Amino acid sequence: MVPALTASAAKTLGVSIISWRSWETLEMTLSSYQEVGLFDFFDRVLLYFQDLGQRDIEIAAKFGLPYGGGPNCGIADGMRNAATELGTDYVLFLENDCPLIETRDEVEFQLKTARQYLESGIIDVMRLRSRLHPGEAFADVQKYLRYYPVRKKEPLVDIRPYRLEIMFRWLWRVKRYNLSRMKGRAIYVEQAAEELFPEVIQKTAEGFWILDSCCADWTNQSVLCRRDFFLDVLMPYVDAHPSSRTSNGFQEPERPLNCRWWRRQHFKIGQGKGLFTHRRVDGSWRKEHPAFEGEIGSGDT
């Protein structure tokens, strides 16, 4: 059973937007924030630029936002530096290709609920990427379908592109160890994931799911957590266990963290409707992407 909420304390909330070039994408994203008044809900805001340059400074000035940064230091150190500079109790980590797609009322509701859950210790991390409109480079639906049949599908989820995954679902017998890890991805496909896997998924009265980290990975994108949790718990593990797979020579938290250690910590991960999608209109390093611009070496997604 999910614990009852306690009264919200006077904790400070900050947001960092990590950005490396892709200026058209950044302006699109910041415009989506400006239209809804996203920053009204935060005590501090920081645009953190990798390879800080004149155009970055001009965009920050255009939107009236404080900025920081310097030479490209990669995602891990960029997130660390931004969180340190913000100095707030809680930090929402965004990237320059995470536009807002929800209303102001929805923003207020989700941020208020996330803060209450964090302050009450109900969760350690709140995912704020859209559950049903996650945008580009989202593989959780595909991965889930490799291992589990759909029981009661969310109407907005289109599984037609994943016919091969469904056809070859028998492959789970080869990788049985992945069965438990995939359970958390049910929330992106099923209407009632908490009924399918109650041992690792709960649903709150406010309509949020709470997942055990044994079946929910860490993600760098659109996540809200305590600043000290990120700096004093997660980053020391990243530093002590660097991945051999880097982003242009730089560490990024996802690869070191999504491991046995993370799964055994049984952190609690929240997911509701979500607020942000993933969309890029320039500067993509993915060759299949319409905005592909060659080997640009950013470490961005």
- The proportion of the chain whose per-residue pLDDT surpasses 70, expressed as a percent, equals 90
- Contact between 135 and 101 under an 8 Å Cβ cutoff? The reply is no
Judged against a pLDDT cut of 90, whether residue 131 lies above it is answered with yes
DSSP letter (8 states) at residue 1: -
DSSP code per residue over 255-272:
HHHTTHHHHHHT-EEEEE
The mean pLDDT value of the chain amounts to 92
Q: Give the CB-side neighbour count of residue 10, counting CA atoms within 13 A.
A: 0
How big is the chain by its Cα radius of gyration, in Å? 19
Task: Give the tens place of pLDDT for each residue, 260-294.
Answer: 999 999 999 999 999 999 999 986 565 565 665 66
Residue 80's CB is within 10 A of a number of other CB atoms, namely 19
Distance CA(197)–CA(187), nearest Å, equals 10
Residue 180's CB is within 10 A of a number of other CB atoms, namely 16
Strands of 166-284, DSSP E: 201-203, 209-212, 223-226, 268-276
DSSP letter (8 states) at residue 282: S
Distance CA(257)–CA(78), nearest Å, equals 16
**Which band of pLDDT confidence, cut at 50, 70 and 90, is reported for residue 2?**
low
Average confidence (pLDDT) over 18-30: 97
**Which band of pLDDT confidence, cut at 50, 70 and 90, is reported for residue 175?**
confident
Strands of 13-119, DSSP E: 13-19, 44-50, 67-70, 90-95
**Which band of pLDDT confidence, cut at 50, 70 and 90, is reported for residue 296?**
very low
**Which band of pLDDT confidence, cut at 50, 70 and 90, is reported for residue 88?**
very high
Judged against a pLDDT cut of 60, whether residue 185 lies above it is answered with yes
Please report, for residues 9, 25, 301, the alpha-carbon distance to residue 122 in angstroms, rounded to integers and kept in the order given.
Answer: 15, 34, 30
Domain 10-99+219-257+279-301, what architecture? Answer: Alpha-Beta Complex (3.90)
- 173 Cβ contact partners less than 8 Å away, ≥ 6 residues apart: none
Residue extents of the structural domains in the chain: 10-99+219-257+279-301, 118-217+261-276
- 124 Cβ contact partners less than 8 Å away, ≥ 6 residues apart: 118, 213, 225, 226, 229, 267, 268, 269
